[in-house]
Amino acid sequence: MATHSMIIPSSSSSSLAAPASPFKETLPLFSRSLTFPRKSWFSQFRLRFFAEKHSQQLESSNGCATNFASLQDSGDHLTEEHGTKEESTLSITVVGASGDLAKKKIFPALFALFYEGCLPQDFTVFGYARTKLTHDELRDMISRTLTCRIDQRENCGDKMDQFLKKCFYHSGQYNSEEDFAELNTKLKEKEGGKLANRLYYLSIPPNIFVDVVRCASLRASSANGWTRVIVEKPFGRDSESSGELTRSLKQYLTEEQIFRIDHYLGKELVENLSVLRFSNLVFEPLWSRNYIRNVQLIFSEDFGTEGRGGYFDQYGIIRDIMQNHLLQILALFAMETPVSLDAEDIRSEKVKVLRSMKPLLLEDVVVGQYKGHSKGGKTYQGYTDDPTVPNHSLTPTFAAAAMFINNARWDGVPFLMKAGKALHTRGAEIRVQFRHVPGNLYKKSFATNLDNATNELVIRVQPDEGIYLRINNKVPGLGMRLDRSDLNLLYRSRYPREIPDAYERLLLDAIEGERRLFIRSDELDAAWDLFTPALKELEERKIVPELYPYGSRGPVGAHYLASKYNVRWGDLGDA
């Protein structure tokens, strides 16, 4: 049943000017809130909505009711003292508003949520950056990237105008308390004395995370509502720097206020992973070493650094993709059944997986770097040809790795990761290769290559989202000839409506305090513990990456690594 927060007024309000952390000072107010401790009323509403939407065919493409504002009573809160409703407002501040991520992803995601009726009735969006812009200049910049749903274009222009009127801009330095104090004044003007909830999205380089959090904490936190901060990766470069970043943030924030975002966790097929496994009897009994031969996590981009080489060169493909995106998917895939769908139960199971894994060994890693190549009359630059990249850089743009989980379910099963830039195709997928059928009656039909007779489950995360299971079947005719066929769930055919962007889902979850798809600090520590030793050895020994042509399938060494564990990369048979 939906509930409202019962707020018992505090005897003393926190002061924004105090030297201690105001973010933390507001927490006693929350600890006295008489709410369900594990699941917000809106989360319960969403669960009911998803359960009902297929039968009722509600007009929504991302799970939000079109009349959300009325369903949530405009975000009002019922106070115990007066028995009356206290109106609330939501302020979303995008720090680094003039950057590419904000323009291409964050503002469009916020508009999509507004268009779908997923934002509260009373909300304000502020852009904050060092660039000098007026409100109208920000709105003009944002408007160029806003689009409406393909399947819902009614009143698109009107909706854009309404959204842009709620967008404002404040220019300031990232380390200036005075500039954030001015931002706080502007936020208060828009909030109009209502219960103020504030969400900060840090779309900025990690070296200024702490400065922004400090200034916002001391000068621009909410005095009577919640304050939350979304932090973008990378979360450090290794265990040491990540731990230092976490300790610095926690000087001003509690763990409950930090939302470490990995946008891959918001992708539809990744979120569907646990549904596929835990709600289908046909899969769960097979989900172990007894039936699964190997698991492959494959990420590829068909373009290079494209002028972002200076940034990429500081991290490389292992830190940029493997340690976060692919490892998070692996943890979701391999975790035990959680006690419930509560965020902490799910995240605790993921941490157990990570702590059960062997740290990555250098002998189980292959690194590569793309070189210049001419194809179809066009010349493609190599990685070190990028003017923003040092000439003799050893930073890998490709990596393949074999990892193992030391527990009863997965002992001995290789989890192979592969990620690279400037490859032959763009995509991300999970491939589950099952074991051979014992005493297969039809093995002669597959000659000596029994791998052709194994079943394979493929979960394609992007593009062309889909799930397909490869099975063996008889080709129609008088003879006995076998063929491999796909039982295919192609999302664009089964679900013609547009799939929401991952940032929409994650922003909505952060607003509602749903942490299931965000990374906890102990989870982050466990992830870095797996990769830091190999990363340090790669850099200390100055391992030279194997060169591969731009637009190819990557270095040959990746195939030797797979064959070491009697595995063939599943994407080799794809076009």
Coil, strand or helix: which one is 531?
A: helix
The one catalytic residue among 54, 325, 436, 559: 325
Helices (H), 128-256: 135-143, 156-164, 177-191, 209-219, 239-249
Residue with tokens 């959680």: 338
Inter-residue contact 328 to 519 (CB < 8 Å): yes
Between β-strands 88-95 and 123-129, what pairing exists: parallel, antiparallel or unpaired? parallel
DSSP states of 274-302 as a string?
HHHHHS-TTTGGG-STTTEEEEEEEEE-S
- Cα(130)–Cα(196) distance, integer angstroms: 25
CB neighbour class for 436 (10 Å; exposed up to 12, middle 13-18, buried from 19): middle
Between β-strands 123-129 and 167-171, what pairing exists: parallel, antiparallel or unpaired? parallel
Half-sphere exposure of 296 (CA within 13 A, CB side): 29
Inter-residue contact 321 to 402 (CB < 8 Å): no
Inter-residue contact 321 to 314 (CB < 8 Å): no
Interhelix angle for 209-219 vs 239-249, to 10°?
A: 10
What letters, b where the CB count within 10 A reaches 16 and e where it falls short, cover 396-406?
A: bbbbbbbbbbe
Coil, strand or helix: which one is 252?
A: coil
Inter-residue contact 38 to 344 (CB < 8 Å): yes
Helices (H), 89-198: 100-101, 107-115, 135-143, 156-164, 177-191
Coil, strand or helix: which one is 529?
A: helix
Sheet holding 77-79: strands in order across?
A: 6-7, 77-79, 85-86
- Cα(30)–Cα(69) distance, integer angstroms: 23
What letters, b where the CB count within 10 A reaches 16 and e where it falls short, cover 307-327?
A: eebeebbebbbbbbbbbbbbb
- 373 in active site: no
Structure tokens at 344: 């902490």
- Cα(358)–Cα(478) distance, integer angstroms: 52
Coil, strand or helix: which one is 367?
A: strand
Of 243, 231, 207, 213, the closest CA to residue 315 belongs to: 207
CB atoms within 10 A of CB 341: 14
- Three state DSSP letters for 302-354: CCCCCCCHHHHCCCHHHHHHHHHHHHHHHHHHHCCCCCCCCHHHHHHHHHHHH
- Cα(152)–Cα(61) distance, integer angstroms: 9
Q: Report the catalytic residues.
A: 325
